């Protein structure tokens, strides 16, 4: 039986990751998952409450920077894999409060590395390097943003030099460098995945795609930074989860693997496509219109959806230091581990919109309170 310590699993990707392990990949296998999450604004226990059965999946509320807690988790459990999702993850927030990102993303990572080191080292080899218990792996969930920004051509490969621009990406890069320093200094069994932009269920509506969906449902304007020509490479979240577990289990120790599905789109095109997809879904199935907060009747007595069009778009001030283009070359993970993205964007966006329409209670929970204050300041 393998035991995972999954940090940040009350957030977007981490929650999808544990659901993928529990109900898809290891549905009929004995695994144990310990979730460690501080439940910040981005973490929601409701997202994973049905997954925590205290048999295969356990929840611990706590901070990845807490040394005593980390040591206790390793002392009480024979942890095989640490998968570190926990982070402050939003670029715009990092521009407002860089120190929080430095603290959580760098010190938190280093604290987990040290706790794993204390628990997993068995002795020393002839050259003085630590020797390690068999089969252990510390995995860092990183981002394509560590590579900086591309022009119109080219892709990020694993050998592209890191060149972060935002406080968020600087903190994630620094965390990656600590992971690699532990590999080189202590021969620690580590791995890193650097993935492009994810979308899918449980995506917090401060990020572009869920924000656009939520604003349409609320009848609000759709803020596009600058001209909207910046390009992101979108990947359905479950494809990312699959890649992470492949790397944890079968990826070579010490390596970086880029993850992305060659799905580059300009922000303005993503926004227009989301508008059109919602409109078309509601055109086909009138029942879906009931979720709209703006309920005006058309000439037929149906809920009007003619206002769901590109006029909702509003161009707002650009993000400071806004990276122009991200695009991942996933050749290494494809060739070494046979990973490929299963979900085409056209299907993934429909699934994501449907999930949002069907999970309004979750959206209301996460957008109440502090989110509203944040939204009012930002837009
Ligand atoms: P998220 O903001 O949705 O979730 C972050 C989670 O971490 C939350 O549950 C939060 O409560 C928890 N957390 C924050 N600070 C913590 C602390 N000090 N101790 C314990 N838990 C803490 O983030 P996400 O979008 O799911 O991203 C997860 C990871 O994947 C991050 O490391 C991010 O850098 C990386 N990543 C994200 C994307 C993306 O498109 N979202 C792409 C590539 C990589
Ligand atoms: O590339 C991976 C990264 O993707 C992850 O490491 C980050 O954790 C994750 O937040 C995401 O970062 P981005 O900054 O690319 O995602 P975001 O959804 O915030 O923005 C996507 C693009 O849309 C970006 O170019 C900024 C733009 N944008 C964003 C928002 C929130 C807008 O035009 N309007 C908006 O309101």
Decide if pLDDT at 177 tops 90. Answer: yes
| pLDDT in the model for residue 313 | 98
Q: Is 208 in the pocket of ligand 2 (CB under 6 A)?
A: yes
| pLDDT in the model for residue 83 | 99
Question: Could you give the percent of the chain with pLDDT greater than 70?
Answer: 100
Decide if pLDDT at 1 tops 80. Answer: yes
Q: What is the mean pLDDT of the chain?
A: 97
Decide if pLDDT at 373 tops 90. Answer: no
Count of beta carbons in the 10 Å neighbourhood of residue 204: 20
| pLDDT in the model for residue 377 | 87
| pLDDT in the model for residue 305 | 97
| pLDDT in the model for residue 372 | 84
Decide if pLDDT at 67 tops 80. Answer: yes
HEC-encoded secondary structure of the chain: CEEEEEECCCCHHHHHHHHHHHHHHCCCCCEEEEEEECCCCCCCHHHHCCCCCCCCEEEEECCCCCHHHHHHHHHHCCCCEEEECCCCCCHHHHHHCHHHHHHHHHHHHHHHHHHHHHHHEEEECCCCCEEECCCCEEEEEEEHHHHCCCCCCCCECCCCCCCCCCHHHHHHHHHHHHHHHHHHHHCCCEEEEEECCEECCCCCCCCHHHHHHHHHHHCCCEEEECCCCCEEECEEHHHHHHHHHHHHHHCCCCCEEEECCCCEEEHHHHHHHHHHHHHHHHHHCHHHHHHCCCCCECCCCCECCCCCCHHHEEEECCCCCCCCECCECCHHHHHHHCCCCCCCHHHHHHHHHHHHHHCHHHHHHHHCCHHHHHHHHHC
State in Å: Cα 8 to ligand 1 middle. 6
State in Å: Cα 375 to ligand 1 middle. 19
| pLDDT in the model for residue 118 | 98
| pLDDT in the model for residue 370 | 82
Largest Cα separation within the chain, whole Å, is: 84
User: Can 144 be counted among the known catalytic residues?
Assistant: yes
Q: Over range 227-246, report the average pLDDT.
A: 98
Q: Which ligand is nearest to the CA of 66?
A: 1
ipTM confidence score: 0.99
Reported pTM: 0.98
What domains can be seen in the chain, in order of their start residue?
A: 2-203+236-262+321-342 (3.40.50.720)
Model confidence over 244-284: pLDDT tens digits? Answer: 999 999 999 999 999 999 999 999 999 999 999 999 999 99
Q: Which ligand is nearest to the CA of 85?
A: 1
Q: Over range 331-358, report the average pLDDT.
A: 98
Q: Is 143 in the pocket of ligand 1 (CB under 6 A)?
A: yes
Q: Is 224 in the pocket of ligand 2 (CB under 6 A)?
A: yes
From 51, 63, 145, 264, active-site residue: 145
Decide if pLDDT at 369 tops 80. Answer: no
User: Can 145 be counted among the known catalytic residues?
Assistant: yes
Q: Is 230 in the pocket of ligand 2 (CB under 6 A)?
A: yes
Q: Over range 104-109, report the average pLDDT.
A: 99
State in Å: Cα 207 to ligand 2 middle. 6
Model confidence over 305-322: pLDDT tens digits? Answer: 999 999 999 999 999 999
Instruction: Read off the tokens for 280.
Output: 């078309």
State in Å: Cα 169 to ligand 1 middle. 13
Model confidence over 192-221: pLDDT tens digits? Answer: 999 999 999 999 999 999 999 999 999 999
CA distances for 287 relative to 154, 291, 292, angstroms: 44, 8, 10
User: Can 168 be counted among the known catalytic residues?
Assistant: yes
């Amino acid at each position: 039986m393998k035991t995972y310590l999954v940090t940040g699993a009350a957030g977007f990707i981490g929650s999808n990751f544990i659901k993928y392990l529990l109900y898809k990949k290891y549905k009929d296998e004995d695994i144990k998952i310990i979730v460690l999450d501080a439940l910040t604004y981005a973490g929601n226990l409701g997202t994973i409450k049905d997954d925590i059965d205290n048999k295969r999946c356990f929840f611990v509320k706590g901070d990845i920077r807490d040394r005593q807690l980390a040591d206790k988790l390793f002392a009480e459990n024979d942890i095989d894999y640490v998968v570190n999702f926990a982070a402050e993850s939003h670029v715009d927030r990092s521009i407002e409060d860089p120190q929080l990102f430095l603290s959580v993303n760098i010190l938190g990572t280093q604290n987990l590395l040290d706790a794993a080191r204390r628990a997993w080292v068995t002795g020393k080899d002839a050259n003085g390097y630590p020797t390690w218990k068999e089969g252990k792996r510390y995995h860092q969930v990183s981002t394509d943003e560590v590579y900086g920004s591309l022009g119109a051509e080219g892709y990020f490969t694993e050998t592209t030099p890191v060149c972060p621009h935002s406080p968020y990406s600087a903190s994630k890069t620094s965390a990656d460098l600590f992971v690699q320093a532990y590999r080189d200094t202590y021969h620690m069994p580590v791995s890193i995945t650097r993935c492009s932009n994810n979308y899918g269920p449980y995506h917090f509506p401060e990020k572009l795609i869920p924000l656009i969906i939520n604003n349409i449902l609320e009848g609000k304007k759709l803020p596009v930074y600058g001209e909207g020509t910046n390009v992101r490479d979108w990947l359905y979240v479950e494809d990312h989860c699959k890649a992470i577990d492949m790397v944890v289990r079968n990826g070579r120790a010490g390596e970086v693997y880029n993850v992305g599905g060659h799905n580059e789109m300009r922000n303005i095109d993503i926004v227009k496509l989301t508008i059109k997809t919602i409109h078309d879904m509601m055109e086909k199935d009138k029942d879906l219109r009931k979720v709209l907060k703006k309920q005006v009747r058309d000439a037929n007595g149906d809920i009007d959806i003619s206002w769901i069009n590109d006029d909702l778009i509003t161009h707002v001030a650009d993000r400071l230091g806004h990276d122009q283009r991200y695009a991942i070359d996933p050749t290494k993970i494809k060739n070494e581990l046979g990973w490929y993205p299963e979900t085409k964007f056209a299907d993934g966006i429909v699934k994501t919109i449907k999930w949002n329409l069907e999970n309004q209670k979750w959206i209301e929970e996460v957008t109440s309170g502090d989110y509203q204050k944040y939204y009012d300041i930002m837009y």
